[in-house]
Structure formats: C-alpha cells, structure tokens
Amino acid sequence: MDSRHLVDPELVAGLDFLPTMDFASGNLPALRAQLQELYDLQARELPAGEVRQREVLVPGPAGAPDVRVLVYEPANRTGDAPLPAYLQIHGGGYVLGTADMSAGLCAAIVNALHCVVVSVDYRLAPETAFPGNIEDCYAALHWLHAQAGELGVDPARIGVGGESAGGGLAASLALLARDRGEVPVAHQQLIYPMLDDRVPREVHPYTGEFGWTREHSAFGWRSLLGGEPGGEDVSPYAAAARADDLAGLPPAFISVGSLDLFLEDILEYTRRLTRAGVKVELHVYPGAYHGSDVVAAARLSRNHMRDQMAALAAGLGCTRG
C-alpha cells in the first residue's frame, strides 16, 4: 500500500508526529506514556479565568470501582438557566489514553458553546475487557443526568461523543441508553469512530496506512473482546455496527478522513442510520488520515473543528456556537 501521495499537503507534516506503535512487543505502558506525551505537546492550557475544571469520582457499575470524570464548566456562569452538557469519551483503540488528554478540546467546547463538559476516564483493555469500558461510560452518563440539577444542566440536552475508540464507545452508549430507557441522549458526536470488529471481505487499497492500521485495530478489538474479533456473538454494546436495529437513536454528526482505516465501516453505518430514520450529518475530509487533526493549524483540521462545533451546538440547542 502507498497512499502518501493522497495525503493533503498540509497534513504530511503530521506523519512525523504520529507515534510508532508496536503492540506485538506487549509494551503497553510505554506506548501509553508515548501517546500521553504526544497529547501533552498538542494540548492547550485551560484559558485562565474562563473554564473551571474539577475531578469527581462517580459511582461505578455494580461491583466495580468508582469512575473518575473531569468536569469542565464556564468559570463565570450568569443567570439560573440550565446549560446543555456533553459527555466526552477519549480515543486510543480501547487500550490507550486518559480523560486528561481531552483537556484542550473540552475547554474549547465550553468556551465556544457555553456548556458543561464531562470527560470520562473509563477502564482500558486488556486489563478490563468488555463490558467494563461501556459500563463505565454509562455510569458517567447516568450520573450526569441524575445530577443535572446540581450541575446546572438541562437533562433534556445531554449529548455523547468522542474520537476513534471514543466515538465507537459513544455510538454503543447511544444504543445502550436507548435500550435501557433511563437517560435520554439528545445528540451523538462520532469522530472517526471505531465501530466494527469484523474484517471486510474486500480491503480498501488506500486506507489504514497512517495513524491507525489494521494490525493496531485487530489488537484493540482482541484486547477489548478477550478473544479473536469477528465472532458471531459480539455485542453491539462492544461494536456498534453489530446492532440489528438502529431506529430511535439520537441525531448524529459523523466525520472521517478519506484515508482513514474506518472509512468504509463509517460509510456503511451512516447508510444504515439514515435507513433507520436517524438524522445524520456526515463529513468525509479528502486527504485526511486517522488522527490527522494532530496538525491543528492545517486547513482541513480547522474545517473539521469548525464543523464539529457547529454540529454540537445545533445538536445540544446551544445559544452560542
């Protein structure tokens, strides 16, 4: 495979910043530290006096530890009107990442939309296999809804979303919330989501060379599922593309690059959502690879952020954005 010539010229520089991930070595701690360093380099400091951050431990799933979340809110809230809220779920192939690496994004969302953002630090695989991660996310969502009054949040305007594995978890969380019927979700924000553990019969010749490869994806799914991916009994709460019924899900914003490994999975999931009567806004960015928004100054990355913010503002009914 050679797709470098298809990469947007402004995004080529990002190829040198992407970490080399050799999951075959079994050295997950070092890879986790490497990814955190990358995000530390890219992260923006919280705007002084504008965004307040605090850490909360919320009740975890039955028999499991409490779930750590980071709550971001406007530092100088005025009036008594409740604000919309967004549950942010970080990426990392189900095996990497922390809630902290979304700090810059969470602060940007709070500033742009004047809302509350809760970033969830779910347990990672392979130390915790499915359903630990999705149940942690559901516990955070349930807490956010139950504590809406204390948080100054409108319980009817809560959205969920994330990037990569976080986007996959957000899609599965929307399914789980629909099926349990306890927490209404107003919007789902799926940024190049990791949706399907199955290997397609026909492999796309120009996706998956950069950022996140087929080998990476297989390791992530294997770690999450505790066995080989592609089996017959994988839950849709682990891989949202496995859901038979997508009706009744909240409106979705979905984005992906044309060189992203997940391109065709995402196109198929979008098609199925529309056929189930779900409102979907889909963006495919030409020449973008998985995680290429690490080049934040590139035109495509700026357009992607603009589109994300506009869709989130509309989905949550924000007065700003």
Which residues are designated catalytic? 164, 260, 290
Q: Which residues are paired to 52 by β-bridges? A: 73
Distances, alpha carbon 195 to alpha carbons 55, 82, 254, 299, in Å: 29, 33, 12, 27
**Token pair for 92:** 């990392």
- Cβ pair 136, 61 in contact under 8 A: yes
The rounded distance, in Å, linking the Cα atoms of 2 and 91 is: 26
- Cβ atoms of 119 and 99 within 8 Å: the answer is yes
Task: Identify the CA nearest to 280 among candidates 272, 292, 291, 288.
Answer: 272
Calculate the CA 159 to chain-centre distance: 12
Name the burial class of residue 37, with classes exposed (0-12), middle (13-18) and buried (19+) by CB atoms within 10 angstroms of its CB.
Answer: exposed
d(CA 41, CA 315): 30
CA distance 216 to 166: 15
Can you tell me the distance from the alpha carbon of 22 to that of 8, in angstroms, rounded to the nearest whole number? 26
What sign for the dihedral angle of Cα 302, 304, 307, 310? negative
CA dihedral 202, 205, 210, 215 (to 10 degrees): 30
